[in-house]
Amino acid sequence: MKMALRRLARRWIYTSNTVRYRVELPRLLKALQIVGQVDCAIDVGAAGGYYVVSAYLHFAKHVHAIEYDTGLCNLLRQELARFPERCSWQQGSILSLPVESASADLVACTQVLEHIDDELLAFKELTRVLKPGGHLLLAVPHPPAPWPEPGHVREGYRIEDLMTLGARFGLEIIHSDNYLTSSTQKVVHLAHRFREKLPALLPLPELSYSRNERLRQRPYGILVLYRKQVAVRGTSQQANVGY
């Protein structure tokens, strides 16, 4: 019953998170269309499992979710119980993922990296569990932050930062996108004023914007899709990561 009410609230109430979900999800789905169907996907920082169900299960035969927070793990367990044959989950940290190396065709990580002090170790782990030729889907904030973010250890990432970071670990960006434009940010500010209980009646014009239109509106979210390079025989990719 609690999960059903949670799903209903996500649909009919605007909070900071539900607004972000509505504009971030289409960008995730667009990137996943580029990846296509895969056997195994891993969602790192899966929270309550919303994107596992709404996005990754549409493209992967099996999705393994990893979440650090104990309370969110309880929600994740309940959400994924509906898909016992196609989903699994573990409590774990992005800094030491409880997953075998080179085991995933797709690794997804949304709105996590900006919370992690040791971003290089986190990125190393995301890359480690990814098969050569596999894809890493990453979504992070893009500076400047339009409101205080006390849980963030850095304001965000520009595309140049993400290119440089990926290159250290043998990852090439093949697609990028932006979301959470200034018009949507106004709705988030209003949700803040309503103490995260704003009725979901206001439209989100961003959902009809083209990519160029989103870029012109100071988007706070940036998404990149990486492809992991296939190591050349006789060389060590791990030796080139500089970490």
Q: 26 preceded by cis ω (within 30°)?
A: no
Residue 1: pLDDT band with limits 50, 70, 90:
low
Residue 231: pLDDT band with limits 50, 70, 90:
confident
pLDDT per residue as tens digits for the range 8-39: 878 899 999 999 999 999 999 999 999 999 99
Residue 100 φ then ψ, to 5°: -65, 150
Give the pLDDT score at 175. Answer: 98
Residues 6+ apart with CB under 8 A from 56: 32, 41, 43, 63, 106, 108
Query: Residue 220: which region, alpha, beta or left (left: phi > 0; alpha: psi -120 to 50)?
Result: alpha
Q: How far is CA 171 from CA 37, 87, 94, 108, 162, in A?
A: 20, 27, 18, 14, 10
Domains, the chain: 2-56+89-161+171-230 (3.40.50.150)
pLDDT per residue as tens digits for the range 74-115: 999 999 999 999 999 999 999 999 999 999 999 999 999 999
Give the pLDDT score at 237. Answer: 41
Residue 2: pLDDT band with limits 50, 70, 90:
low
HSE of 124 in the Cβ direction (CA atoms, 13 Å)?
13
Residue 84 φ then ψ, to 5°: -65, -25
Residues 6+ apart with CB under 8 A from 110: 24, 28, 45, 51, 137, 138, 139
Name the token pair of 38.
Answer: 């895969």
